Structures are given as structure tokens and as C-alpha cells.
Amino acid sequence: MTERDAAACAGTGRVGNPVSGIPEPIASRLAAGGLSPDAVASFAALALAEDVAGGIDVTTAATVPAGEAGSADLVARSAGVVAGLPVAELVFWLASRDEPVTTQPRAADGDRVVAGQVLLTVSGPVATILLAERPALNLLCHLSGVASLTRRWVDAVAGTGARIRDTRKTMPGMRALQKYAVRCGGGINHRMSLADAALIKDNHVVAAGSVAAAFAAVSARAGGLPVEVECDTLAQVSEALAVGADLILLDNFGVADMAQAVRLAGGRARLEASGGLSLADARAVAETGVDYLAVGALTHSAPALDIGLDLVRAG
């Protein structure tokens, strides 16, 4: 958090060091999901700072008596898969002043939820609850939307052996959170960054001169990292197999060509379908025998899950 952000958060609680003293239950739930509690807290603090850039919640200050305490429920308005409950909890904690809010999860990340189901109960100063409402819901609705869309894809290919995985098409600053939400929905992650694995794409092939030349060059530099080769044609698939690639991305292949690529590979390489995939065709693609379906839409186009906050007791 910058000094300007800290100033904007003045009066909202732990601005000097927004990540110190995170309650153990919240920190444990984040860490168990593979998230850094400190990193999530820093991101959540920025979300809060953005909402109180003027230094005051004008509406709440005018309508809520000073010192008023109460509780509120975060409620699913539609069915889906929830993700980001400890993230929302952290937003409420960061927004607390002298009298901290308490949070009680009523569901767990990865749960299928129905409309009307209470996901989280928040108790404490009403002004603090309302101050944190929108940043908490923004994150929770988005991450639950990612998890819900992922689950639809996972359900579509159930029983085929194919896995649904994401891409690097994530919102800046939100990659870890979005990929966490994909896991909550039953999907798996591709690389987190360019340093985690090598993916030889069409432009790399052009630069190197051929699939074989690109594979040789990357393999020599990759230091044991996984190396995946993107192929646009069956001829390139054959070339990739010939040089020993054990992971091949089939870019914009039709179902018939995917099936042919599976036959060509004969178990020598794992195959990943990518490009132009739709939920309606997901099962047909999976039934060709590919190992993965790479779906960028999981993170760049997931609709938010409708979740609201209802103040259930005040005064």
C-alpha cells in the first residue's frame, strides 16, 4: 500500500501495516488454499482504499448512528460454486476500527450453493460492515463466478478423463486469486508465470525456424522445466512427436483433427486442446482422448455469481 493509499484509508483500521496480525483462522484458510495471506491482505487493502478515496463513507455517516452494532449475512442470490470467502473475511477485518468485526463462514470455498443460502455472517459496527460491503462483494462475486464457470466445464467432461485447466489470461494483480478460484471449481492450473514452464508458440517457431529448432533451443535452456509445444497442424504434431515433445497444445483444431492427433501421439505425449472451445462442444472435445482442455474464458470472461449483503440486525 502506498502512502497515498494509506491516507485514503485513514480511519478504516490497520493502515500502518495492513497485513500485520491477520486472524489465524482467516490466515489458515487462505494458506490452505495456496494463497499468501499477506499478499491477499495487501490487495484487499487497495480495494478498500479505492472505495474510501475521499476519506469518508458519506451515506453511512449520515444514516448509521455512531457506535451502532449489528450483523449482516452474505447471501447467494443464485446457484453456483463459492470461492473467496476468506478473502471477503479479510476485507471486513481490514476495514475494522477500534471494535473489530467478527466473521463466521456458513459455507466453504468449493461448495455448491443455492439461491438464498447464507455464505458468511459478519458482526460488529454497522458502519464498518457497510464500508467494507462493496469491496468484499466485488471480490467474492468475481471469484465465485470463476469457480462456478469452471465447475460447469468440469461437469461437462466428467467421466472422460480430460481435465479442465486455465491460462495466463488473468486480470493484472489477480492471477493467484483467479487461479485459486479455478481450483475451487474443480479445474487445474497451467503455469503461474513465464518462468514456471516453457510454452513454444507459433511466434517462437517462426523466430527459431521450425518446431524442431525451437524445441531444441528451449530444451537446452529450460533447466528441466516442462516444455509444451503449440501446434497448428497435424504435420507440426508429427514434428513435435519426432523431437520428443511430451506435451503438445492443439491450437484451434477441429474435433476430427484432435482425434487424429491422439492417434498419432499413441500415448507418447499428453495433448491439450485450446482455442475456440465452447462449453457446448466440451464433451465432444474431451471424448477425442485429449488430456486437457485449456479455457481462457474461465478467468477473462466468467460472469460474477450474484451475492448480496443483508443487514439482519442493528441497534
**What are the grid coordinates assigned to 53, written together?**
478515496
Q: Reply yes or no on whether 251 is catalytic.
A: yes
Of 68, 82, 88, 86, the closest CA to residue 111 belongs to 82
Buried (b) or exposed (e) across 145-177, using 16+ Cβ within 10 A?
Answer: bbbbbbbbbbebbeebebbbbbbbebeeebbbb
Beta strand spans in 106-182 (E): 112-113, 118-125, 163-165
Could you say which of 73, 89, 251, 291 is catalytic?
Answer: 251
Could you say which of 106, 134, 175, 283 is catalytic?
Answer: 134
Could you say which of 5, 51, 89, 230 is catalytic?
Answer: 230
Of 163, 103, 197, the closest CA to residue 293 belongs to 163
- In whole angstroms, what is the distance from residue 312 CA to residue 117 CA? 14
Q: Reply yes or no on whether 169 is catalytic.
A: yes
Residue 176 zone, left/alpha/beta (φ > 0; ψ -120 to 50; rest):
alpha
Could you say which of 169, 175, 270, 283 is catalytic?
Answer: 169
Could you say which of 97, 201, 270, 283 is catalytic?
Answer: 201
Instruction: Find all residues with CB under 8 Å of 105, minimum gap 6, and list them.
Output: 29, 85, 86, 89, 119, 120
Instruction: Find all residues with CB under 8 Å of 52, minimum gap 6, and list them.
Output: 8, 9, 12, 131
Alpha-carbon 229 to chain mean position: 25
Would you name the residues annotated as active-site residues? 134, 169, 201, 230, 251
